[in-house]
Amino acid sequence: MSLFLEVVPVSEAVEVVRRIAPPPGCEDAALEDALYRVLARDVSADIDIPGFDRSTVDGYAVAAADTTGASEAIPAMLQCLGRIGMGSADAGSISPGSCRYVPTGGALPRGANAVVMIEHAELIGDDVLVHRPVAPGENVVFRGEDFRAGAVVLERGRVLSPRDIGVAAAVGADRVSVVTPPVIGIISTGNELVPATGVPGPGEVRDANSYLAGAFVAERGCRPVYFGIVRDEREALKNAVSSALDRCDAVLVSGGSSKDERDNTAAVIADLGEVLVHGIAIAPGKPTIIGTARGKPVIGLPGHPASAFVVLVAIVDHLLAAMRTTAVSRRTLRARLTQNVPSTRGREDYIRVRVRDGEAVPVFGKSGLLNTLVQSEGLVRIPATSEGLEVGEEVEVILW
């Protein structure tokens, strides 16, 4: 096997990971357990919402025609037939020249088609003086105006927010069909790695990538499974990846993806399946590997945490979204660069930046430094067609 296959553009790498994403399973979940889960099936209204004509204000239910021409100087006088209680099974009715008091959310009586706000009316004995006319439908939500019975309220693929949970409850969906969270195996490889609880000796570093990748996966609604640190031995890595494939839907391996003779990750993927991409025109993160084994995606991430995180954002995010049947969701903002940023044409660069008062301040650092991750708020992408960005140029910042 060649040590490095043809370097591909980021767009092609994204297409590959989306193509190899395995289809998700689905399961039923109680509504109270469904927050931020992905809908696997549409949620439809079981009844008309609302199920009756209702007032949106405190006021008097009227026939709009009875208020025509009403003003402060010459109010319309209507007979008040009483109050409508919340949850009343029968709101009664009104006839021409009469009205009923109705609270916000209360049902309209038969014969009424509008509500006069209480601020625009005056109760005197059994009569109500209306100081402002209302139009038919004013201050009223009619039956089925929100959702008709059988209408799709929430579409499959939607990530359920607190708002969605409330709407689902309103249409009778106490249980919903949701995508089973993809299970992602996390492996770190390298003779230099020690656990986070260990004290590194000469030539050693703590394993940051397991936690970095696992947290990234969890933040996107997937379930990380940690397989620990594996030494730079092909058979050991093969056993670890094989074990992860037994339990997981996809595997992320950090380290072992360089272009030298110790490129174990690519060799192991080739042994177990197929290497589809080895090398992406991206900086940092060029030696990224994309492959499949037993029909499941296996991604080889760079060993440096900063590089690994850029690849997670630029490439792996698309894989996880496809596995959950969602779109990639990113928080972005516009800012102006505070200095020139050079780039190499043909390579997509991701520059870490701080954001201050509408300005994007590049955070440069040597390869492998961790401080740029905590000193920055996000990334600026420089397209492969560009030779860099100039000071003062407006850019889009992908926020962490």
Instruction: Tell me the residue type at 110.
Output: R
Beta bridge partners of 339: none
Give the residue numbers spanning the domain of 381. 332-399
What's 385's domain CATH number?
Answer: 2.40.340.10
What pLDDT does residue 369 have? 74
The two structure tokens encoding residue 297: 């995606």
- Please tell me the distance from the alpha carbon of residue 156 to that of residue 169, in angstroms, as a whole number: 16
Residues 65 and 120 in one domain: yes
Residues 350 and 307 grouped into a single domain:
no
Q: Which residue has the tokens 């004290």?
A: 199
pLDDT (tens place) for every residue of the chain, 400 residues total: 444 558 999 999 999 999 999 999 999 999 999 999 999 999 999 999 999 999 999 999 999 999 999 999 999 999 999 999 998 878 999 999 999 999 999 999 999 999 999 999 999 999 999 999 999 999 999 999 999 999 999 999 999 999 999 999 999 999 999 999 999 999 999 999 999 999 999 999 999 999 999 999 999 999 999 999 999 999 999 999 999 999 999 999 998 655 554 478 999 999 999 999 999 999 999 999 999 999 999 999 999 999 999 999 999 999 999 999 999 999 999 999 999 999 999 999 999 999 999 999 999 877 667 888 899 999 999 999 999 999 999 999 999 8
Q: Transcribe 117-136 into DSSP letters.
A: EGGGEEEETTEEEE-S---T
Are both 80 and 186 inside the same structural domain? no
pLDDT of residue 295: 95
Write phi, then psi, for 286 (nearest 5 degrees): -55, -40
Question: What single DSSP character describes residue 316?
Answer: I
5 in any annotated domain: no
pLDDT for residue 255: 87
* Of the residues 295, 323, 351, the one at which a domain ends: 323
pTM of the model: 0.85
CA pair distance 63, 271, nearest whole angstrom? 79
In terms of domains, do 295 and 368 share one?
no
Q: Give which of 16, 7, 18, 10 is closest to 328, Cα–Cα.
A: 18
Q: Give the integer Cα–Cα distance in Å for 52 and 307.
A: 58
Q: Where does residue 157 rank: exposed (0-12), middle (13-18), buried (19+ CB within 10 A)?
A: middle
SS3 call for 234: helix
- Domain total for the chain? 4
The CATH number that applies at residue 132 is 2.170.190.11
Task: State the pairing for strand pair 296-301/250-254.
Answer: parallel
For residue 392, what is the DSSP state? T
Strand (E) or helix (H) holding 236: helix 234-247
Do 83 and 97 fall within a single domain? Answer: yes
Answer yes or no: is 231 within a domain.
Answer: yes
Q: How far apart are CA 127 and CA 125, in angstroms?
A: 6
- pLDDT reported for residue 1: 45
Question: Considering the domain boundaries, does residue 4 fall inside one?
Answer: no
pLDDT of residue 3: 47
| Residues 6+ away with beta carbon under 8 Å from 391 | 337, 338, 339, 340
CATH number, position 247: 3.40.980.10
What pLDDT shows up at residue 370? 85
292 and 337 share one domain: no
C-alpha span between 96 and 91 (Å, rounded): 16
291 in any annotated domain: yes
N-terminal to C-terminal alpha carbon distance within the chain = 37
Tokens representing 251? 């595997």
The verdict on 85 and 115 lying in the same domain is yes
Domain-located, residue 148: no
Residues 307 and 200 in one domain: yes
Choosing from 306, 323, 340, the residue where a domain stops is 323
Residue 1 in domain = no
33 & 167 share domain? yes
Q: Which residues contact 381 (CB under 8 A, 6 or more apart)?
A: 314, 348, 349, 350, 396, 398
Same structural domain for residues 240 and 189? yes
For the domain that residue 167 is a member of, what is the CATH number?
Answer: 3.90.105.10
Pairwise CA distance, residues 279 & 288, whole Å = 5
Residue ending a domain, choose from 113, 141, 169: 141
Would you say 303 and 254 are in contact if contact means Cβ atoms under 8 Å apart?
yes
pLDDT digits (tens, 9 = 90+) for 212-245: 999 999 999 999 999 999 999 999 999 999 999 9
What pLDDT is attached to residue 88?
Answer: 84
Domain assignment of residue 121, yes or no = yes
pLDDT of residue 5: 56
In a domain, 146, yes or no: no
According to the model, what pLDDT value does residue 259 have? 53
Asked if 279 and 343 sit in the same domain, the reply is no
- Are residues 193 and 285 located together in one domain of the fold? yes
